[in-house]
Amino acid sequence: MSIVERARADICALRPYVSARQDPARGILLNANESPWQPPGLNQDLNRYPEPQPAGLLKTLARLYQCDTRQLFVGRGSDEAIDLLCRAFCAAGKDAIVTAPPTFGMYAVAAGIQGARVIEVSLKGPDFALDSEAVGAAIGADDGVKLVFLCSPNNPSGGLADSQSVERVLEAASGQALVIVDEAYAEFSDQPSWIGRLSDFDNLAVLRTLSKAYGLAGLRCGALVARSEVIDLIRRIMPPYPVPATTVQTALEVLNGPAASELASRVRQIVATREWLRDRLSKLAIVKRVYPSAANFLLVAFYDAAHVDAALRESGMIVRQFSNLLPDHLRITIGERQDMMALANVLDTLA
Ligand SMILES: *Cc1c(COP(=O)(O)O)cnc(C)c1O
């Protein structure tokens, strides 16, 4: 049985919108009510609707992520893929997703918007490890579970999901739920991507984004990588033109341009700064714990996080607080070395 058979029956039966750009014929284009002219003074082809799934960008991303173009959905950030997955698989008021908090908040929000239930199986232990047994039990106990969101490296804790634990979840979910490994921060870790395991598990999907390591958060470009039948399903319900032409052009410039090699050195720089800050903060008396991180941020437990947060704000530095989810913790994004030194200096004055 393909995992797609677990998608909403009404979505499988839905006749997708056929947009004008899906007609491959080229000539004088009079089929999309577009303007025949560019806006005055603009030298970019923006009067036409873009390709629904831009072939050039798919090709470049497929090379980057080492997959087939048919295994890719590209959208406005990976957030869009999270939303589409919830809509495709979860019947409102009936089906459920499983998340492993503390984790990225958008999984629960997207499920909530769709009217799906959210089953939370907390990460366990001092390092926030994936509790594969408890996740497996949650899946087994509830046939409505359609999606399992795992985040590795995890936001906000920074840790990696142990690969055997992920495999156990994939096996427990086999034939029932799609397991999505969100690799938004994969470039900062040295773990192999789960994309390489797509041929082993038909219920595996991976999220990637250009928003973090590639420095393109403002571009809004992210991808879902999965078996082609899952991608076909998502493409049935995507908005007619999810990726703006300007986004396609800039993404191709960055990914295929000469700057691509510089990117690896920037990632190394962020990682080196992260480890420097981790070491520096670990020695402070106001710090309870600095979590190991494979991402571009550090989760830090303080004895008095509110006080630290206030002092940092006073100095013009804004970090992330998680008042309900993780009281006493702050998540610090790794920025330029000099800014991290300034941050450490502020914390010194509190020690
Ligand atoms: C930032 C982030 C995303 C969102 O990425 P976009 O591609 O910008 O939508 C997805 N997942 C996690 C875990 C993130 O931290």
pLDDT of 163 higher than 90: yes
Quote the CA–CA distance of 169 and 136 in Å, as a whole number.
6
Name the pLDDT band for 247 (thresholds 50, 70, 90): very high
Residue 120's pLDDT is 98
Does the Cβ of 156 fall within 6 Å of ligand 1?
no
In the sheet with 329-333, reading across from the earlier edge strand, the strands are: 287-290, 297-302, 329-333, 320-321
Quote the CA–CA distance of 117 and 285 in Å, as a whole number.
41
- How do 96-99 and 117-120 pair as beta strands? parallel
Q: Which of 23-27, 257-261, 281-285 has the highest mean pLDDT?
A: 281-285
pLDDT of 258 higher than 90: no
Residue nearest to atom 1 of ligand 1 (CA): 184
Residue 325's pLDDT is 83
Q: What is the DSSP letter of 164?
A: H
Tens-digit pLDDT profile for residues 47-67: 999 999 999 999 999 999 999
Q: Which of 90-94, 211-215, 258-262, 324-328 has the lowest mean pLDDT?
A: 258-262
pLDDT of 259 higher than 80: no
Identity of residue 197 = R
What average pLDDT does this structure show over 226-234? 97
Quote the CA–CA distance of 111 and 346 in Å, as a whole number.
39
What average pLDDT does this structure show over 231-259? 94
Does the Cβ of 211 fall within 6 Å of ligand 1?
yes
Tens-digit pLDDT profile for residues 132-160: 999 999 999 999 999 999 999 999 999 99
Residue 271's pLDDT is 98
- The CA 184 to ligand 1 mean position distance, Å, reads 6
- The CA 108 to ligand 1 mean position distance, Å, reads 13
Tell which one of 85, 86, 103, 155 to mutate to probe ligand 1, the residue whose CB is within 8 A of the most ligand atoms: 155
Q: Quickly tell me which residue has 């039990």 as its tokens.
A: 137
What average pLDDT does this structure show over 262-283? 96
Residue nearest to atom 7 of ligand 1 (CA): 77
Tens-digit pLDDT profile for residues 165-201: 999 999 999 999 999 999 999 999 999 999 999 999 9
Does the Cβ of 222 fall within 6 Å of ligand 1?
yes
Q: Which of 10-19, 112-121, 212-221, 305-314 has the lowest mean pLDDT?
A: 10-19
Share of the chain above pLDDT 70, in %: 100
pLDDT of 84 higher than 80: yes
Does the Cβ of 153 fall within 6 Å of ligand 1?
no
Quote the CA–CA distance of 234 and 214 in Å, as a whole number.
25
- The CA 79 to ligand 1 mean position distance, Å, reads 6
Residue 351's pLDDT is 76
Tell which one of 74, 209, 216 to mutate to probe ligand 1, the residue whose CB is within 8 A of the most ligand atoms: 209
Name the pLDDT band for 45 (thresholds 50, 70, 90): confident
Q: What is the DSSP letter of 124?
A: B
Report which ligand 1 atom has the smallest distance to the Cα of 221: 7
Report which ligand 1 atom has the smallest distance to the Cα of 217: 8
Contact in structure between 146 and 97 (CB atoms under 8 Å): yes
Q: The whole model's pTM is what?
A: 0.97
Tell which one of 104, 220, 299, 322 to mutate to probe ligand 1, the residue whose CB is within 8 A of the most ligand atoms: 104
Name the pLDDT band for 255 (thresholds 50, 70, 90): very high
Residue 304's pLDDT is 96
Tell which one of 76, 82, 99, 106 to mutate to probe ligand 1, the residue whose CB is within 8 A of the most ligand atoms: 106
Name the pLDDT band for 21 (thresholds 50, 70, 90): confident
Share of the chain above pLDDT 90, in %: 91
- The CA 351 to ligand 1 mean position distance, Å, reads 34
Name the pLDDT band for 231 (thresholds 50, 70, 90): very high
Contact in structure between 163 and 183 (CB atoms under 8 Å): no
Tell which one of 123, 187, 212 to mutate to probe ligand 1, the residue whose CB is within 8 A of the most ligand atoms: 212
Residue 321 has φ and ψ, to the nearest 5°, of -105, 150
Residue nearest to atom 12 of ligand 1 (CA): 184
Torsion over CA: 115, 121, 164, 104 (sign): positive
Residue 74's pLDDT is 98
Does the Cβ of 102 fall within 6 Å of ligand 1?
no
Does the Cβ of 215 fall within 6 Å of ligand 1?
no
Quote the CA–CA distance of 234 and 229 in Å, as a whole number.
9
Quote the CA–CA distance of 119 and 103 in Å, as a whole number.
13
- The CA 256 to ligand 1 mean position distance, Å, reads 22
